[in-house]
Amino acid sequence: MSDMKLVVVGAGGRMGRTLVRIVSETPGVTVHAAIERDGSPVIGEDAGILAGIGEIGVPLTTDVLAAVVGADGILDFTAPAATVEFAELAAQARIAHIIGTTGCSAEDEARIDAAARHATVVKSGNMSVGVNLLAVLVEQAARALGPDFDVEILEMHHRHKVDAPSGTALLLGEAAARGRDIKLDDYAVRSRDGYTGPRPQGAIGFATLRGGSVVGDHTVYFAGAGERLELRHVAEDRAQFAKGAVRAALWARGRKPGRYDMADVLGLKD
Ligand SMILES: NC(=O)C1=CN([C@@H]2O[C@H](COP(=O)(O)OP(=O)(O)OC[C@H]3O[C@@H](n4cnc5c(N)ncnc54)[C@H](OP(=O)(O)O)[C@@H]3O)[C@@H](O)[C@H]2O)C=CC1
Ligand SMILES: O=C(O)C1=N[C@H](C(=O)O)C[C@H](O)C1
């Protein structure tokens, strides 16, 4: 089979540069085009040079319509407003759309669901193998320990991150809620300030730290009376997210349109 041709959108960003590097290093996939937004100072630069791997002959452009011609998939770690537009484009082109973008609203999610009628969409708040396995363990722990153990999720990311709680923290919260057979939205406490009163029974709490260059730290606490379990993941390198995204793209190739996540890709669903 020929190489899978992938369009990297947001190719000048932290994840975009990492994706260009990982796609270039991975057999079976190739960088078909590299897209940045209108007005970006990196337009015209070679995507490989920007990614620190030397020239690959793919200049950054703004022309995403031309980019999807002949492409098999889009790798998208950008921003919600951009992602919903790329989803519609992927649907028109009937190709795979791998979405790592976090911070999407319910309305954005509905537009992505609609696009997934025609595109093969894999979307996850975290594309690493480790976090997706952690989510399985969190679901099991929540089921076994029950509501007597208070669930709190602490995350820390670099100073540039614009959304909170992180997509990963929410993914882990969903896993805990599944384990308890409840809906996260009914129990989530996403921030605390001032005279909050005691902790509501069964709450799933979130706490956010931002600073420096932290790639991504997540700890799920199960705090009981007299004992505490802590499940933790530390991302040391963005390459793990990019490798997960490439794995998702290869998995999505030729698969019927629909909405999938990394647990589907990794075979973690029963
Ligand atoms: N699911 C996962 O495993 C992971 C998800 N993420 C998520 O990925 C997203 C990006 O993170 P990160 O790389 O750190 O952020 P960056 O801000 O470094 O990169 C985003 C890039 O997308 C560009 N962009 C925004 N809008 C458009 C558009 N309409 N067309 C083309 N390019 C556009 C930005 O350009 P400009 O700077 O000009 O706005 C920027 O270059 C975040 O939502 C983050 O949470 C990150 C890591 C892992
Ligand atoms: O913005 C980031 O950097 C990251 N975002 C994702 C998230 O919101 O969880 C994944 C990872 O932790 C890095």
Q: DSSP labels for 16-82? A: HHHHHHHHHHSTTEEEEEEE--TT-TTTTSBHHHHHTS---S-BEES-HHHHHTT-SEEEE-S-HHH
Q: Tell me the whole-structure pTM to 2 decimals.
A: 0.98
Rg (CA), the chain: 19
pLDDT at 100 over 70: yes
Residue 105 neighbours by CB under 8 Å, 6+ apart: 80
Fold of 129-235: Dihydrodipicolinate Reductase; domain 2 (3.30.360)
Once rounded to an integer, what is the mean pLDDT over residues 196-204? 97
- 28 annotated as belonging to a binding site for a ligand: no
Tokens of 123: 């979307």
Measured CA distances, 74 to 137, 209, 225, 241 (Å): 30, 31, 48, 15
Average pLDDT over residues 180-203: 97
**4-123+238-266 and 129-235 agree in CATH topology:** no
pLDDT-above-90 percentage for the chain: 99
Q: Spell out the domain ranges in the chain.
A: 4-123+238-266, 129-235
User: Nearest ligand to the C-alpha of residue 125?
Assistant: 1
Question: With a cut of 0.90, is the ipTM above it?
Answer: yes
Give the catalytic positions in this structure. 157, 161
Q: What is the pLDDT of residues 16-66, one digit of tens each?
A: 999 999 999 999 999 999 999 999 999 999 999 999 999 999 999 999 999
Task: Say if ligand 1 is within 6 A of residue 16 CB.
Answer: yes
Kindly state which CATH superfamily the domain 4-123+238-266 is placed in. Answer: NAD(P)-binding Rossmann-like Domain (3.40.50.720)
Q: Determine contact, residues 46/59, Cβ cutoff 8 Å.
A: yes
What value, to the nearest 5°, has the Cα angle with vertex 33 and ends 27 and 35? 130
Cis peptide before 165 (omega within 30 of 0): yes
Tell me: is residue 36 an annotated ligand-binding position: yes
pLDDT band at 1 (very low <50, low <70, confident <90, very high): confident
Residue closest by Cα to atom 13 of ligand 2: 216
Q: What's the CA-to-centroid distance between 127 and ligand 2, angstroms?
A: 9
Residue-wise pLDDT for 161-177, tens only, equals 999 999 999 999 999 99
pLDDT digits (tens, 9 = 90+) for 115-130: 999 999 999 999 999 9
The pick from 15, 17, 83, 102 for probing ligand 2's pocket by mutation, whose C-beta has the most ligand atoms within 8 angstroms, reads 102
Residue 101 alpha carbon to ligand 2 centre in Å: 8
